Amino acid sequence: MRVVVTGGAGFLGSHLCEALVRRGDTVVCADDLSTGRLENIEHLRHLGCEFVRADVTMPLELSGSVDAVAHLASPASPPDYLRLPLETLAVGSRGTENALRLATQHGARFVLASTSEVYGDPLVHPQHEEYWGNVNPIGPRSVYDEAKRYAEAVTTAYRGRRANTGILRIFNTYGPRMRPCDGRVVSSFIVQALSGEPLTVYGSGDQTRSFCYVDDLVRGLVAMIDSAEAGPLNIGNPQERTVRELAQLVLEITGSSSAIEFHRLPQNDPTRRRPVVTRVREALGWSPEVSIEEGLRRTVQWFAARPDAVAAAALLLRGGQSGADRGRPAADQLPVQAPPAPVAEQGAPAQV
Ligand code: UDP
């Protein structure tokens, strides 16, 4: 099978390329390297992974057969899409249309990497696929959220014209190859813990996320490519943690004595997030297998083996300046005085 992976040099994309190559597929990795990195796929290039430097907002021309297109191209971390607002909108809209055209021209399976961000700051908890979401259309996250919502709409319209399309809504995912300075919570906390810098918790740290280890996620992506499921299917680990619990866990696993520091919560930061994964379990037989403790251990090991990159990222992340606050007034960037309260024993969030 010949699979085109847009965004294939990124964190998730490179793991997907690797999984496909390892099972014997031929892979075309299309990436403009705006947030992806060639070193992520360097080791795959002699194994049948071809790299094409391409901006998918421009028409995609590829010779030879194509059996599947996995469309992952997009800035994905909040600091990245805040820095690249128009590019994020373009890749979610024009980029998705181009990827869909490529797939239909070849009669190929198309899989859209959508996101839990389509639920915005959810009023329904946990999130099931029937929920339509609570997105601020002009908020700072809207460039990503609305681009992905449009991407889902156009993918569904193509399905209406008999294209073999599928939508996966990917919840927070972490693992090796996250960019140390991309400003996401898992990479930032690990970098800070390994460098003896304070862990920068935004807000009170009571907001929740559900973190999925990348190998689990990629298994689901491959199963989706192989299926004819339309979705949307949530995919993620339903084990929910507060950001403060995550900080404690990273400190334990790294053995770090870094402090925890509280900073202003970025605007429209979702309060809680946990996927209902019944559908994906039924449709693809998928469920996560790697615990957060084990996944974090593997991720910490990967970061620890790159001390130079970690030291450079620690400087960039210093004082919570990772980018979630970037572009906002200077006053917003000051640490917020919040008592470093002990980690709360938080019960299950209220059902709405
Ligand atoms: N966050 C934090 N400290 C950081 C980076 C992020 O407390 O240094 C918080 C962020 O405000 C959010 C959560 O961690 O509530 C997850 O952030 P991330 O950027 O990883 O992903 P998101 O789910 O918000 O897209």
Instruction: Report pLDDT for 318.
Output: 87
Q: Is the CB of 269 under 6 A from ligand 1?
A: yes
| Listed residue (185, 114, 125, 119) closest to 154, CA to CA | 114
Checking if the pLDDT of 334 tops 50, the result is no
Distance CA(12)–CA(29), nearest Å, equals 12
pTM (2 d.p.): 0.91
Quote the ligand 1 centre to 322 CA distance (angstroms): 10
Q: Is 201 in the pocket of ligand 1 (CB under 6 A)?
A: yes
| Ligand 1 lined by 202 (C-beta under 6 Å) | yes
Residue 290: predicted pLDDT: 98
185 lines ligand 1 (CB under 6 A): yes
Take atom 1 of ligand 1 and give the residue whose Cα is closest. Answer: 185
Among 136, 209, 211, say which to mutate for ligand 1: greatest number of ligand atoms within 8 Å of CB.
Answer: 209
Q: How far, in Å, from the CA of 267 to the mean position of ligand 1?
A: 11
Domains and CATH numbers, the chain: 2-172+213-235 (3.40.50.720)
pLDDT band for position 16 (cuts 50, 70, 90): very high
Residue in 119, 144, 174, 213 annotated catalytic: 144
pLDDT at res. 327: 35
- Would you place residue 102 in the very low, low, confident or very high pLDDT band (cuts 50, 70, 90)? very high
Report how far ligand 1's centroid is from the alpha carbon of 157 (Å).
32
Determine the distance separating the centroid of ligand 1 and the alpha carbon of 154, expressed in angstroms. Answer: 28
Give pLDDT, residue 45: 87
pLDDT over 70 at 336, yes or no: no
pLDDT at 247: 98
Pocket flag, ligand 1, residue 184 (CB < 6 Å): yes
pLDDT (average), residues 166-176 = 98
CA–centroid distance, 70 to ligand 1, in Å, is 26
> Mean pLDDT, the chain, as a whole number?
91
List, in sequence order, every residue forming a beta bridge with 28; answer none if it has no partner.
4, 50
pLDDT in tens, 274-295: 999 999 999 999 999 999 999 9
C-alpha distances out from residue 143 to 76, 134, 140, 233, 350, Å = 11, 14, 7, 22, 29
* pLDDT exceeds cutoff 60 at 348: no
Tens of pLDDT, residues 311-320: 999 999 986 6
How many other C-beta atoms can be found within 10 angstroms of the C-beta atom of residue 64?
A: 9
Is residue 291 helix, strand or coil?
A: coil
Q: Can 119 be counted among the known catalytic residues? A: no
In the predicted model, what is the mean pLDDT of residues 202-217?
97
* Comparison of pLDDT for 339 and 173, the residue scoring more: 173
In order, the DSSP letters of 325-340 are STTS-GGGGSPP----
Residue whose Cα lies nearest atom 16 of ligand 1: it is 185
Over 80: is that where the pLDDT of 272 sits?
A: yes
17 or 347, which is more confident? Answer: 17
Decide whether any atom of ligand 1 lies within 6 Å of the 209 Cβ: yes
pLDDT score of 320: 62
Interval 253-259 mean pLDDT? 98
